């Protein structure tokens, strides 16, 4: 992953999620990775709202296992 200072130098918008997964034929999936006690910044919360308003899926996860569970749930919802 790229740290915040490098992201700013690259021109990445404030609040942009840590990971983006592009799934063919689906809206992008965005993941914000936080520590157990980590919290979203106001810029992150605003960006997540904007992405959701565009139809994207956004999740805040604290472990690889949690991310896997989110992906499973999103895939289940896609089949419904």
User: Model confidence over 32-66: pLDDT tens digits?
Assistant: 999 999 999 999 999 999 999 999 999 999 999 99
**Taking 60 as the threshold, does the pLDDT of residue 1 lie above it?**
no
> What is the model's pLDDT at position 33?
97
Report the residue count for the chain.
Answer: 80
CATH of the domain at 16: 3.40.1350.10
- Counted domains in the chain: 1
Residue range of the domain that includes 53: 4-79
* Phi–psi pair at 31, nearest 5 degrees: -125, 130
- pLDDT tens profile 11-37: 788 899 999 999 888 889 999 999 999
Whether the CB-CB separation of 28 and 55 falls below 8 Å is answered with no
**pTM, to two decimals:** 0.83
């Amino acid at each position: 992953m790229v740290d915040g200072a490098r992201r700013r130098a690259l021109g990445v918008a404030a609040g942009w999620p840590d990971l983006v997964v592009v799934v063919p034929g689906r809206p992008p999936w965005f993941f914000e990775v936080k520590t157990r006690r980590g919290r979203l910044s106001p810029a992150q919360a605003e960006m997540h709202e904007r992405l959701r308003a565009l139809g994207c899926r956004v999740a805040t996860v604290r472990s690889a296992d949690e991310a896997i569970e989110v992906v499973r749930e999103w895939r289940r919802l896609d089949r419904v």
